[in-house]
Amino acid sequence: MAGEFELIDLIKARCAFARTDVRVGIGDDAAVLRVPAGHDLVASTDTLIGGVHFPVSTEPEDIGWKSLAVNLSDLAAMGATPAWAMLALTLPSADKDFVERFADGFAALASRHHVALVGGDTTAGPLAITVSVFGFVTPGRALLRSGARSGDLVCVTGTIGDAAAGLRFPFEGLFGTAASREACDALRERLDRPTPRVAAGIVLRGAASACIDVSDGLIADLGHVARSSGVGIELAAAALPASPALLQAFDAATRLALQASGGDDYELAFTLPPSRETAVLRDLAKVGCGATRIGRVVDGTGVRLLDANGSEIALPRRGWEHFA
Ligand code: ADP
Ligand code: MG
């Protein structure tokens, strides 16, 4: 067991990426940070509670990665370039091994995006992790939920439904289903190590009319876009992109439920005028991010999921609910 300051030193040593815009980092009463001239600061915070936002069996490295990933995903959804993070850690005990492994997972993702950890807080209590992130956009260019217009297309990056599948069928539970071990691992990896779509968000900045990250479930999250924009959204069920692992592991009905209502994928769902589709999909491909057209923005309200005949598919009132 270690003391509070030993734990802070451990975290500092493992997350020691330098940025010249950090004038004062970990070690003083507060950080002093320099926002580059001519930029807006974009800020977001998310808390992860053990047993609520991740299974208690999750590896500490994965918890560290995910606690930053879900936050970077919010910056990505705004089209922001990430810069800084703060970490408020509440731990049941001063467990050095946990903190080292947590910090290694956090640092692995932070260094990938040149994010400096500039401060935080360390307290005793039930396991909870609050990360705050800060990034930059050129003024007026942040991607909002409110810009979708009737006639726009709706697209989503990557594939969806995997994280909910990884949660619903924990590793052991997949034996006896159609899923191979590789498929199980791939689904679980999507849950434990989400990839924030930072480069895609930067591509979409100035090109998409609205954007949101898929954290609560596709229908629920696009519902926020519809409400904020004052429009309706129609999605083609057959168009929802599924990974090879999801296709292998589940029948069509289960897949659709996971894709429509499962959360935690951290893909970006966005809208754009049809005239921009070709260029945007090409620019996304250049940063290694696939995207699929899944529907369109219409006059009206709410999100409707349509079958091949254009009839509405009734979803369970509450679809798959995470960590229930
Ligand atoms: P104070 O008592 O003035 O709030 P602390 O003792 O809480 O200061 O923190 C000392 C320094 O360590 C501060 O710079 C703080 O931001 C940083 N710090 C504390 N906990 C963490 C953490 N979990 N991750 C990163 N930095 C931390
Ligand atoms: Mg403090």
Strand partners, 272: 153
Which 3 state secondary structure label does DSSP give 32?
strand
Q: Kindly report the protein residue whose alpha carbon is nearest to atom 16 of ligand 1.
A: 119
Beta strands in 215-267 (DSSP E): 232-236
Whether 258 lines ligand 1, by a CB cut-off of 6 Å, is no
CA angle 82–83–89, rounded 5-degree value = 95
List the chain pLDDT tens, one digit each, 324 residues.
688 899 999 999 998 788 999 999 999 999 999 999 999 999 999 999 988 888 888 999 999 999 999 999 999 999 999 999 999 999 999 999 999 999 999 999 999 999 999 999 999 999 999 999 999 999 999 999 999 999 999 999 999 999 999 887 654 455 556 678 888 889 999 999 999 999 999 999 989 999 999 999 999 999 999 999 999 999 999 999 999 999 998 899 999 999 999 899 999 999 999 999 999 999 999 999 999 999 999 999 999 999 999 999 987 645 444 445
Closest atom of ligand 1 to 121 CA is 20
Q: Kindly report the protein residue whose alpha carbon is nearest to atom 4 of ligand 1.
A: 29
pTM of the model: 0.94
CA of 101 to the centre of ligand 1 (A): 19
Tokens, residue 268: 């970006």
CA of 121 to the centre of ligand 1 (A): 5
Whether 97 lines ligand 1, by a CB cut-off of 6 Å, is no
Beta strands in 57-167 (DSSP E): 81-91, 116-124, 128-137, 153-157
Which 3 state secondary structure label does DSSP give 163?
helix
CA of 61 to the centre of ligand 1 (A): 21
